[in-house]
Structure formats: structure tokens, C-alpha cells
Amino acid sequence: MSVLRPAPDEPLRLVAVHAHPDDESSKGAGTMARYVREGVEVTVVTCTGGERGDILNPHLQGDEEIARNLPAVRRAEMARAQEILGIAHEWLGYVDSGLPEGDPLPDLPEGSFATLDPAEAARPLVEALRRLRPHVLVTYDENGGYPHPDHIQTNRVSMEAFRLAADPAYAPELGEPWEVAKVYYTNVFHRQKLAVVARHLRTHQMPNEELELMLQHFDESRDRLLTTRIDVKDYLDVRDEALRAHATQVDPEGPFFRISHDVEREVWGTEDFELHISRIGVQLPEDDLFAGLRPEQEEGR
């Protein structure tokens, strides 16, 4: 097995692993849309069906038919977002764990995604990595980006799959071993970005109350390292359209959409990532998840 750079005529490939349908559209959708339009093969793997998600769109709350058929509705929403972004998509097939609330917190539902042994739960993702052969894997950090049990489990399962997919002794029935060159943690929401945007809005007499409240809940000392920033200024409309496709999960007039694209482009027009592991040499900071992997870069070494 050889690593890791594609041949000159070989397409670049990226796999992004997410916990629920809608996560792919709120966390890095602009980056995926950009790479798809540049010819990269992008696949989103969704770990659960989002069966226990609440209906967050106030315009749809109380709709009994949607509530009864939420798993099917969320699959249809995911299919629409997939079409908008131009990505390939696969389900791992695990059951949403829900977000426990209360003091003390209740136990997670038996058999739900976050209750499973990560090494065992990683098996279908190992098969997917060996079959899809991505050069780049994107997932969440150890805290899940925020501490939802399925997001934390997504990190654990992703990192197990990254390790096991490259091990020729592990489960040969799942395909030929494959070494993913680079693993990134998505870092779309962080205090540094939110603070810059909030300061710009205050300076121009356009304060955003929701943004100011969000800032109160961010501990700057816990911001992740920003190693890689992807320019998505031309893909903000696609990102928003994909997010609105998840109609049960997003208020189309809600805080996600209250900061104008003009402000975003002027103040912080990137989606941000943390390079967690690389099996190739890198130079930081980066403006490309495939930095060091493009054939023309190899030729220039």
C-alpha cells in the first residue's frame, strides 16, 4: 500500500463525516460546494438519520404529519441538500441518540449511536473509506464541535475508521487498506470569527442580538487552532440554499441568515479548519484542504 498523493490524472477525493442530516449544510457546506465545482469528488457520510431531532422551524411546529414521518422527511431534506451541493451521500444507518436534558441527565436510548463501541461502529465507515479512497477526511473535534453525544461519537468513530482503514490486518473483507493523507476538524463556529463579525456590526450600527448572546457562551481560551481557511465568498448562496433544504431544522428567517453576505464577504469570507493529522509534509497556514496533494505541487517540489 502506498501513500498518498493522487496521480496526475486522478481526481482529488474528500469524505466529510457528520452526525445528522443538516450538519453537512451548517458546517462546511461552502467548502464542499467550492470543491465540487472544482472537480473534487466529495462524499458526505451521515452517521444517523436524525430521528430524534426536534422540529426547530416555527413555521412547521405542530404539523402532525411531519412529526409522524420525521425520519422520512429528514431523508428527503438530505436528498435535496445533496442535490444543491452536488455531493455524493451515504448513510451509516445508526439511530440518533437525541440530546439528553435534565439534572441528572437521563441515560441515552439503548442501541443509539452514542452508546455503541466506537471501534465496532467504525466498521461501515472503514468499508466506505477503503471503497471511496479519500485523500482528505473531515470530521468534528473531540468535543464534537459542541457536546452533543452523537457529535462526540462521530469524532471517535471517524478517528477509529481512519486508523483501521489503513491497517492491512484489520477486516480484509471490508476492502483493500487505504491511508487517508490528511484529517481535518471542522471549525466553522469559533469566538474569533464571531467577535470580528459582531464588532463590525456594532461599528456600523447594525448590532445582532443573537450573535452577541452567542459570544457570551464562547470561552475564547477554548478556541481551536485555525490552520486552514477556505475562501467561500462565492458559495454563500449555495450554502444557505442547502441549509434551507433542511426545512424542519432551520427557521428560514432565523439567526443563520440574518448576517448579510456582503458583511460576511467583507469581514470573514472563509470556512475554517484545524489540520489534526497529516501523513504528508505540510506548510501552515493553508488555504486549501488539499495543500501538498495536488500533482502540480508535487512537480514543483
Is there a domain that residue 147 lies in?
A: yes
- Do 33 and 51 reside in the same domain of the chain? yes
- Do 94 and 163 reside in the same domain of the chain? yes
Residue 225 pLDDT greater than 70, yes or no? yes
Residue 219 pLDDT greater than 60, yes or no? yes
Is there a domain that residue 96 lies in?
A: yes
Structure confidence at residue 3 (pLDDT): 54
Structure confidence at residue 37 (pLDDT): 98
- Do 67 and 215 reside in the same domain of the chain? no
The total of structural domains in the chain comes to 2
- Do 72 and 150 reside in the same domain of the chain? yes
Structure confidence at residue 103 (pLDDT): 79
- The parent domain of residue 205 ranges over 189-223
Is there a domain that residue 48 lies in?
A: yes
Q: Most distant CA pair in the chain: distance in Å?
A: 61
Report d(CA 47, CA 291) in Å as an integer.
27
Report d(CA 55, CA 86) in Å as an integer.
26
Which carries the bigger pLDDT value, residue 169 or residue 59? 169
Structure confidence at residue 104 (pLDDT): 83
Per the DSSP assignment, residues forming a β-bridge with 89 are 44
Is there a domain that residue 3 lies in?
A: no
Residue 298 pLDDT greater than 60, yes or no? no
Provide the Cα torsion 40, 247, 98, 43; round to 10°. Answer: -10
Structure confidence at residue 239 (pLDDT): 97
- 186 conformational bin, left if phi > 0, alpha if psi -120 to 50, beta if neither: beta
Mean pLDDT value across residues 60-88: 95
- Do 209 and 160 reside in the same domain of the chain? no
Residue 173 corresponds to which cell in the numbers above?
473483507
Identify whether the C-beta of residue 174 lies closer than 8 Å to the C-beta of residue 45.
no
Mean pLDDT value across residues 264-289: 96
- Do 238 and 217 reside in the same domain of the chain? no
Residue 32 pLDDT greater than 70, yes or no? yes
- Do 209 and 140 reside in the same domain of the chain? no
Mean pLDDT over each residue of the chain, to the nearest integer = 92
Percent of the chain topping pLDDT 70: 96
Structure confidence at residue 299 (pLDDT): 47
- Do 202 and 86 reside in the same domain of the chain? no
Residue 300 pLDDT greater than 50, yes or no? no
120-171 confidence digits (pLDDT tens): 999 999 999 999 999 999 999 999 888 899 999 999 999 999 999 999 999 9
DSSP structural state of residue 60: T
Is there a domain that residue 301 lies in?
A: no
- Do 88 and 218 reside in the same domain of the chain? no
CATH number at residue 39: 3.40.50.10320
Percent of the chain topping pLDDT 90: 71
Residue 256's pLDDT band (cuts 50, 70, 90): confident
Feature table: binding site for Zn(2+): 20, 23, 151
Residue 23 pLDDT greater than 70, yes or no? yes
Is there a domain that residue 244 lies in?
A: yes
Q: What is the pTM of this model?
A: 0.93
- Do 93 and 143 reside in the same domain of the chain? yes
- Do 63 and 172 reside in the same domain of the chain? yes
Structure confidence at residue 8 (pLDDT): 84
Is there a domain that residue 4 lies in?
A: no
Is there a domain that residue 40 lies in?
A: yes
Structure confidence at residue 189 (pLDDT): 80
Residue 31 corresponds to which cell in the numbers above?
467548502
The one-letter amino acid at 292? G
Structure confidence at residue 290 (pLDDT): 98
Feature table: binding site: 20, 23, 151
- Do 122 and 210 reside in the same domain of the chain? no
